[in-house]
Chain A
């Protein structure tokens, strides 16, 4: 298995632009997670899905952030409009189950908003 795939790996954009991050989970995994990692706040869970349905989006910082999972093999995290404080590394992870199951992380998307 190729593992969790994220694209793009790096994104540089200007403030106000729309940013879309993409994730392909491991086939057969029912859970998908989006995390954000910054020096100041560490690793934060933004949202997670179970069987393509958003379960907990309490970590999404503002209405500028939205996430979708149209099918079991694809998810997007969108920021519109982007701001410099959104600069971070965004990780997607997937797992078979929640709780005791291992989460498998993608390589991350490093986002820089100028």
Chain B
């Protein structure tokens, strides 16, 4: 079975500073990787996903993530954050070959951007 670990439960950062949210996964088979964002009192929405190909994936709102197979990591980065990026971020994996194809989510990282 696959699992996801988000290494930081909370990340405070000042506006315009860079940020990295860390995600590690474990799986015995190849996976698809996702980052979702949840703004207060809203559902989750997709930021970006890695399916195959280039290990650097660009998403919405200036976020990007890098898939590192040897490190089994999929860290999310943004070079300069805005107040509006304050939200909870979830890393998720989906097993590549599975009759189920269901997502397994990490515990989430709350990003708080201070002025």
A interface list, Cβ under 8 A from B:
4, 33, 42-43, 45, 48, 55-56, 91, 93, 97-100, 102-108
Contact = CB atoms under 8 A, between A and B. Distances in A.
B32 interface: yes
B67 interface: no
Interface in B22-80: 32, 34, 36, 41-46, 49, 51
Contacts of B103: 33, 45, 103
Given A99-B32, A100-B94, A91 B101 contact: no
11 contacts: A42-B106, A43-B44, A45-B104, A56-B100, A98-B101, A99-B94, A99-B98, A99-B101, A102-B46, A106-B43, A108-B43
Contacts, number: 56
A91 B95 contact: no
B43 A105 contact: yes
B111 to A, nearest CB: 16
Interface residues of B, number: 25
Contacts of A91: 43-44
A100 B51 contact: yes
A105 B45 contact: yes
B108 A100 contact: no
Nearest to B101: A98
Contacts of A93: 43-44
Contacts of A55: 100
B44 A99 contact: no
A98 B102 contact: yes
Contacts of B49: 100, 102
A103 B102 CA distance: 10
B51 A107 contact: no
B59 to A, nearest CB: 11
